[in-house]
């Protein structure tokens, strides 16, 4: 059995200025924004739902976590920013499942402020009208 290293562990072990790991990726403090949206069964396909406050420039997104009490399986959603509406997940990858099924998307280490309008996290619905229920969300990020 082999022992291997992650990218940041390799850089840390190499040391020196050329191998420095970006701030917040090692021993970073995680910040969290929470939000929820109460669907009224009038949101048709193409509805854009804005979540959270605008994230600060330089924030590195660690994870996006969503769960829903919307119980239909025919609605899909994509998750992104006002700049790129499927930055984190394309429609079809994120079907709203049975009540309170948690869904987590890796934040890809996305750095906010690299494009105009990329500080606002959005969900865009597709395929059907939402039924009544609540979508809960959390974004984890670091600004260190």
User: Is 93 part of any domain?
Assistant: yes
* 74 within a domain of the structure (yes/no): yes
Backbone angles phi, psi at 74, to 5 degrees: -90, -5
Is 54 a domain residue?
yes
Domain of residue 34, residue span = 26-142
| Residue 4, number of CB atoms within 10 A of its CB | 6
**3 in a domain, yes or no?**
no
Model confidence pLDDT, tens digit, residues 9-58: 888 888 866 667 777 777 789 999 999 999 888 888 888 999 999 999 99
Residue 83 to residue 110: CA distance in whole angstroms:
13
Does residue 64 belong to any structural domain of this protein?
yes
Please give the structure tokens belonging to residue 28. Answer: 């970073």
Tell me the CATH number at 112.
2.60.120.220
Q: How many domains does the chain have?
A: 1
> What phi and psi values does residue 65 have, to the nearest 5 degrees?
-125, 125
Residue 68: closest CA among 18, 113, 131? 131
Task: Return the number of other C-beta atoms located less than 10 Å from residue 20's C-beta.
Answer: 12
| pTM confidence score | 0.78
Asked if residue 9 belongs to a domain, the reply is: no
């Amino acid at each position: 059995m082999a022992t291997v290293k992650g990218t940041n562990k390799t850089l840390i072990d190499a040391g020196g200025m050329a191998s420095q790991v970006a701030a917040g990726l090692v021993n970073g403090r995680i910040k969290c924004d929470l939000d929820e949206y109460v669907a009224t069964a009038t949101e048709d396909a193409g509805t854009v739902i804005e979540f959270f406050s605008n994230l600060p420039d330089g924030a590195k997104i660690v994870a996006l976590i969503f769960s829903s009490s919307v119980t239909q399986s025919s609605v899909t959603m994509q998750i992104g920013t006002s700049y790129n509406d499927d930055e984190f997940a394309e429609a079809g990858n994120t079907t709203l499942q049975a009540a309170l099924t948690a869904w987590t998307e890796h934040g890809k280490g996305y750095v906010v402020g690299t494009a105009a309008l990329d500080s606002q996290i959005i969900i865009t619905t597709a395929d059907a009208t939402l039924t009544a229920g609540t979508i809960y969300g959390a974004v984890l990020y670091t600004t260190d």
